[in-house]
């Protein structure tokens, strides 16, 4: 079993407790981060009709739900919302929610989507779990329409230590694994998640990777002591 398969199996194992663990561990703040990402993206894209929004590494469908809710609040009409994830366990939970979305089992690097058909592609707290990230970013570029938007919410590695960053790291590495392990009965998974942040990129390095792929980065904003970072990038119109 390769590294990507191990990560997918881990998410299969924690799927049923994933939502409750997320709400408890983030104190519900993650919903606000998602809402803000959707609102900002709709303003930047500035279209009142949208053909397709694709959420990659969709998990249990949280971001698909936010795209739908925020569109209705902003009087935006969306033809289709797709959620894609390699974890069958996560997709099973997502499908039980009866969301206004269609779910596909697929990896970020191999999306069953035609070239240049996606208006907005999002990936929330899943990019660091994509082992072949360069292939994933190229795939996102492929499926987006010219002028389409890539939205990334992620826990990025901090470039230098501050008092706030030390507090963040203490919570992520000491408190989160204990609570997450109790809620999910899977301590290994909640040890992996904070460790995966240490092995991930800084905000500056991810911006460079996006630019190297061909995107122009419109925004890179940190939230809640830079625990979470929102990236909004655009595929050139021509």
pLDDT in the model for residue 26: 66
pLDDT in the model for residue 25: 59
Q: Which has more confidence, 177 or 44?
A: 44
Statement: residue 238 has pLDDT above 90: no
Top mean-pLDDT range of 3-12, 146-155, 187-196:
146-155
With b for 16 or more beta-carbon neighbours within 10 A and e for fewer, the 129-166 pattern comes to bbbebeebbebbbebbbeebbbbbbbbbbbeeeeeebe
pLDDT in the model for residue 223: 79
Give the list of residues 6+ apart from residue 94 with CB closer than 8 angstroms, or none. 58, 59, 60, 61, 64, 83, 85, 101, 103
With b for 16 or more beta-carbon neighbours within 10 A and e for fewer, the 23-54 pattern comes to eebbeeebeebbebbbebbbeebeeeebebbb
Among the residue ranges 11-15, 65-69, 203-207, the one predicted with the least confidence is 11-15
**DSSP H helical ranges for the chain:** 3-25, 29-45, 62-73, 88-96, 133-143, 163-170, 176-184, 187-198, 203-213
In the chain, what are the domains?
Answer: 27-159+201-234 (3.40.50.150)
Distance between CA atoms of residues 182 and 5, nearest Å: 24
pLDDT in the model for residue 48: 96
Which tens digits make up the pLDDT trace of 11-43?
Answer: 888 878 777 776 665 667 888 899 999 999 999
Question: Packing angle between helix 176-184 and helix 187-198, nearest 10 degrees?
Answer: 140
Question: Residue 104 — pLDDT band, cuts 50, 70, 90?
Answer: very high
pLDDT in the model for residue 177: 77
Statement: residue 203 has pLDDT above 80: yes
Question: Residue 106 — pLDDT band, cuts 50, 70, 90?
Answer: very high
What do you get for the CA distance between the two ends of the chain, in Å?
41
pLDDT in the model for residue 196: 74
Which tens digits make up the pLDDT trace of 173-197?
Answer: 787 778 777 877 777 877 777 777 7
Q: Are 191 and 175 in contact (CB under 8 A)?
A: no
Q: Which two tokens stand for residue 63?
A: 């971001």
Section 5-9 average pLDDT: 87
Statement: residue 51 has pLDDT above 70: yes
């Amino acid at each position: 079993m390769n590294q990507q398969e191990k990560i997918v199996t881990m998410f299969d194992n924690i799927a049923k407790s994933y939502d409750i663990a997320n709400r408890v561990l983030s104190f519900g703040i993650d919903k606000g981060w998602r809402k803000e990402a959707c609102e900002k993206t709709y303003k930047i894209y500035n279209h009142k009709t949208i053909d397709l929004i694709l959420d990659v590494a969709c998990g249990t469908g949280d971001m698909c739900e936010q795209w739908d809710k925020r569109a209705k609040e902003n009087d935006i009409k969306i033809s289709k919302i797709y959620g894609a994830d390699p974890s069958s366990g996560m997709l099973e939970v997502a499908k039980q929610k009866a969301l206004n979305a269609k779910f596909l089992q697929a990896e970020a690097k191999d999306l069953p989507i035609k070239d240049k058909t996606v208006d907005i592609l999002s990936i929330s707290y899943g990019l660091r779990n994509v082992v072949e990230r360069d292939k994933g970013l190229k795939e996102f570029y492929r499926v987006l329409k010219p002028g389409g938007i890539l939205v990334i919410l992620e826990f990025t590695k901090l470039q230098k230590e501050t008092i706030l960053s030390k507090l963040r790291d203490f919570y992520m590495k000491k408190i989160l694994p204990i609570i997450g392990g109790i809620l999910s009965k899977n301590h290994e998974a909640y040890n992996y998640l904070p460790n995966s942040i240490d092995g991930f990129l800084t905000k500056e390095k991810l911006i460079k990777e996006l630019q190297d792929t061909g995107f122009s980065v419109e925004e890179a904003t940190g939230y809640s002591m830079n625990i979470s970072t929102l990236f909004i990038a655009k595929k050139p119109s021509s």
